[in-house]
Structure 1
Amino acid sequence: MLPRGALASLQRSVVCSVFITIAGKYNWCVPTTTELIEMSEAYEALYNVRIVSAGEGKCRGELTIAEEHQNPLGTMHGGFIATLVDQMSMFALQTHENGPKAVSVNINVSYFKPATTGDEVIIDARTIRAGKKMAFLEVDLIKKKTGELLVRGSHAVFIVSQKTIS
């Protein structure tokens, strides 16, 4: 577990290195499910997200909400949620046909219900459409116990380059 306040610091300094590592290790090709799970080890160390499946433009993870994920009110922090939307949707895109290299254009997050310590959350990311220059992705955060939709995020990205599987 990270000490309180350390997560935000790590998000600023390490989150980008996750994609540098992925690019360096996988050259932006479409990773297999096993490779995506291996790549998630750095991600898991930061956020305790467990990648449970990935492929065909989708990525699913699970998270048990802990103190380091909370805001001062004791619910899951909105900035942390936005980071999950960004990261998980990009993981989903990397499993899409040709695994395009992309950068964010717009992220929108709608918060419907809070999650608190101990809640188990499913993070379900999917590629809605990936064209030659733009891709559109969605991410739902769902309370595992009840099936309630907690958050819906949408992410539009500009495709920098199309890479083919090597």
Structure 2
Amino acid sequence: MTQLPETKQHKENVSNDDELLEFALKEFDSFGKAANFTRILAGFLPVSAKRDVLTCEFTVTTPHLNGKEKLHGGQSLTIIDVVTSRAISLTQRNRAKASLELSASYLLPISSGDEIIVIARVLHIDSKTAYSECELRRKNDGALCVLGKHTMAFL
């Protein structure tokens, strides 16, 4: 995995893992109170936060499903978008950003009631962009179900 650059901005924003997890917990806790689209991520629980990796867990419920009772593809992209954005924000808190590219590869279906582990990795950050990837894995067998990537621009 590529190390994040040690820029002045980066050093000022980096904290210890406990503080990073506390920051992530507060961010995700706010989703349940949101009036906007992020409310769909209520119930997501950050379980680990490091400089370049954010891991969350959630259980798939009815609001996440498509007509075939599987995790909706758009919901998967929302998860990738939000969790990778928060992973980048762990060390780049006060930098406005916008998506340049967001994609997902759907490898296995995810069903209602499945417990999912979401692992977002920050691959590289430079002065203008951040590159990340995200995995959605079933907790019971570790199977990789969705693989995403997200490129963001700093505004």
Say whether the fold is shared (TM-score over 0.5).
yes
Matches of 1:150 and 1:66 in 2, distance apart? Answer: 16
Q: Is the counterpart of residue 110 in structure 1 residue 105 in structure 2?
A: yes
Q: Tell me what 2:26 maps to.
A: 38
Alignment of 1:94 with 2:89, yes or no, is: yes
In structure 1, the gaps of 5 or more residues are 1-28, 161-166
1:154 paired with 2:149, answer yes
The equivalent residue for 1:133 is 128
Residue 59 of structure 2: aligned partner = 64
State how many pairs are aligned.
131
Q: Which residue of 2 aligns with 1:11?
A: none
TM-score between both structures, scaled by the size of structure 2: 0.78
Deviation at 1:153, TM superposition (A): 0.4
Displaced runs of 4 or more, over 2 A: 29-32, 42-47, 98-101
- For 1:111, give the aligned amino acid: Y
Structure 1 residue corresponding to 2:116, chosen from 110, 117, 121: 121
Going by fraction, where is helix more abundant, 1 or 2?
A: 1
Aligned-pair Cα RMSD in Å: 1.6
Mapped partners of 1:69, 1:36: distance in 2: 21
**Counterpart residue identity of residue 144, structure 1:** K
- Change in CA separation of 1:56 and 1:44 when aligned onto 2, cut-off 3 Å: farther
Counterpart secondary structure, 1:40? helix
Q: 1:158 to 1:36 in 2, by over 3 A?
A: same
Gaps of 5+ in 2: 1-12, 34-38
